[in-house]
Structure 1
């Protein structure tokens, strides 16, 4: 079992958000096998804060689903602090609708995806993207969710 210190901040006007218990489960499952101890923050925000952070740190002037801010301490410090996740509730809700996913499934995906980024995974190169997507799919399936990358059919 992972010793997880999790700070959850709800700074969104949205009320249909995952429970603290769900967030903890999704993060813990992702960290399993990678860390024995971890500290991280999850901040749930609205579009304005997401857009400001995305512009400031990524040069993209629009809100985004999840931002990961990895803590980059020297290895010799051996601190459990992983970093921060900032998740935009309205974007997650809009994407879930567009992708014909349940809101819970998409929240789980965003928490798994962001936590993997904090662990050092990325999807910039195609080979890295394939590995990360495979891990996400395995983790989400272990949590009872469908493959988040499976094609969806447009309602017609």
Structure 2
């Protein structure tokens, strides 16, 4: 795996020719064939690409690990290969390149190459912070929610239709309850 600072520089070449897609998620831009196809230690590699995450979410890596573990246990999904805590700038670049949307989003998921478990989840700090503040929720809780959301996407869940969205929201709430994070879909009073 390349050093965290080089993530945005290597994206174009990483998997341009990889046609594997599931649920409309593009193939992983970070998956590099170095013989590391599974998660030998039972969880994702967590890369804090933007160090500002640590200022807003103390123990961010532990929160990511816990949310990922809970989602994988509940759904029996394989753990993502990598979770990257990044910035709006990097996520905007990825969103434009792989989804044709020239704007940042809170979380992106990328499928692994066909036949391999895992995938990548990439989160944008500024967007995650804005959404947490707007919802009057701790940034740490929103981070946990979005990691669970990403794992569910990698497991084949989606939210394009109303029924799919409700099922996915219910599953997110169930997973989050196992780690003490309040239901993000329930209005706070």
Bin for the TM-score computed over the shorter chain = 0.7 to 0.9
Count of aligned pairs = 147
Matched, 1:6 2:47: no
- Per the alignment, residue 47 of structure 1 pairs with 88
Structure with the larger strand share: 1
- Cα displacement string for residues 33-55 of structure 1 (whole angstroms, at most 9, x for unaligned residues): 43375452001111110100011
- Give structure 1 stretches of 5+ with no counterpart: none
8 Å Cα contact 1:66-1:110 kept in structure 2: yes
| Deviation of 1:5 (Å) | 3.5
The aligned counterpart of 2:15 is none
Deviations along 1:48-73, whole A, 9 cap, x unmatched? 10100011111111111000001241
Alpha carbons of 1:107 and 1:36: their partners in 2 closer, same or farther (altered >3 Å)? Answer: closer
Correspondence for 1:110: 146
Q: For the structure 1 residues 36 and 125, does the alpha-carbon distance in structure 2 shift closer, same or farther, using more than 3 Å as the test? A: closer
TM norm structure 1: 0.85
TM-score by length of 2: 0.71
* 1: CA distance, partners of 2:60 / 2:86: 15
For the 8 Å contact 2:68–2:79, the answer to whether it is kept is: no
Superposed CA RMSD: 2.0
* Change in CA separation of 1:62 and 1:6 when aligned onto 2, cut-off 3 Å: same
Change (3 A) 1:37 1:123: closer
1:138 aligned onto 2:170: no
Determine helix, strand or coil for the equivalent of 1:95: helix
Q: Deviations over 1:119-145 (max 9, x none)?
A: 110001111111100000111112111
What are structure 2's unaligned runs of at least 5 residues? 1-40
Corresponding residue SS for 2:96: helix
Query: Would the aligned equivalents of 1:8 and 1:43 in 2 still touch at CA under 8 Å?
Result: yes
The counterpart of 1:60, out of the listed 101, 106, 109, is 101
